[in-house]
C-alpha cells in the first residue's frame, strides 16, 4: 500500500468522525421531536429517513460544487503532460456514490440509535 492510499484512508476516517459527531449533536438536539414522532406512531425507518435526509442533501450539494472544480483543476493540470489520461465522468459518479454511501452509513448508525430510544425518556427529561 502506498502512503497516499494510507493518508486518504486517514482523511476519510477523520471526516467520518466529524460527520458522526455532527449526527450525534443533531440527534441530541432533536430528541424531543423524535420522541413525539415515535409516540404519534412514526416508524424507525421514517425517523432514520428524517435524520439522514439533511446530511445526504449536504453531501449532494458538496459534490455539485466540487466535481466541476475538480474537473477543471485536473484538466488544466493534465494539459502540461505529453501523455494524458482522459477524465471520464464515471470517476466522479463513483466518487459521489462512495461519498453518499459513507455518509449514509455514518449517519444511519446514529439515526437508528436515536430512533430505537425509548420516547418516554426523551419526553420525561423536562
pLDDT string in tens for the chain (126-residue length): 689 999 999 998 998 899 888 888 888 888 888 888 888 888 888 888 888 888 889 889 999 999 999 999 999 998 888 888 888 899 999 999 998 998 888 888 888 888 888 877 776 655
Q: How far apart are alpha carbons 83 and 99 in whole angstroms? A: 30
**Whether 108 contacts 124, CB under 8 Å:** no
Q: How far apart are alpha carbons 28 and 117 in whole angstroms? A: 11
pTM value > 0.75: yes
Amino acid at each position: 500500500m502506498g502512503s497516499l492510499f494510507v493518508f486518504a484512508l486517514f482523511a476519510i476516517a477523520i471526516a467520518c468522525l466529524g460527520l458522526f459527531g455532527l449526527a450525534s449533536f443533531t440527534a441530541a438536539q432533536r430528541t424531543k421531536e423524535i420522541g413525539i414522532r415515535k409516540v404519534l406512531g412514526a416508524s424507525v425507518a421514517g425517523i432514520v429517513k428524517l435524520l439522514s435526509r439533511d446530511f445526504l442533501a449536504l453531501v449532494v450539494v458538496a459534490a455539485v460544487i466540487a466535481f466541476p472544480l475538480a474537473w477543471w483543476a485536473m484538466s488544466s493540470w493534465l494539459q502540461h503532460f505529453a501523455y494524458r489520461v482522459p477524465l471520464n465522468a464515471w470517476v466522479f459518479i463513483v466518487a459521489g456514490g462512495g461519498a453518499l454511501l459513507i455518509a449514509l452509513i455514518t449517519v444511519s448508525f446514529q439515526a437508528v440509535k436515536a430512533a430505537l430510544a425509548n420516547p418516554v425518556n426523551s419526553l420525561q427529561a423536562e
